[in-house]
Amino acid sequence: MLFELLRIVLGSIYVLFLPGFVWSYVFFKKGEIDEMERIALSFGLSIALVPLVVFWLNWLFKVRINLVNIVLIIAVITFFPLIYLKIRKK
C-alpha cells in the first residue's frame, strides 16, 4: 500500500513535472518568472513534451512504447537540457 502510493507520487513527479521544470530553465532564465509561474509552466510543458516525443519516436523510429523505453526517453529529455544549462552557465 505505501509502496504503491510512493510509486504513484514519484512517477507523477517524474512524468508530469520534472521534464517541464528543466525545460522551463532553458526558456526562461532564473528571475525572469516567479516560482509559481515556473511550476505551472512545468506541468504544461511536461504534459505537452512527453507525449509528443514518445509518439514521434514511435512513429518515426518505431521505438516501442513500453515502461523501459518511456523511462529512458523521459530521462533523456530531462538530461539534455541540464547539459545545455551547465554549458550556458560557463
Beta-bridge partners for 33? 30
d(CA 79, CA 84): 9
What's the chain's Rg over C-alpha atoms?
Answer: 14
Question: To the nearest whole percent, how much of the chain has pLDDT over 70?
Answer: 100
Cell of 84: 545545455
In tens, the pLDDT along 52-88 reads 999 999 999 999 999 999 999 999 999 999 999 999 9
Report the number of distinct structural domains present in the chain: 1
Find the domain containing 20 and state its range.
2-89
**Region for 31 from its dihedrals, namely left if φ exceeds 0, alpha if ψ lies in -120 to 50, beta otherwise:** left
CB 24 within 8 A of CB 41: yes
Beta-bridge partners for 30? 33
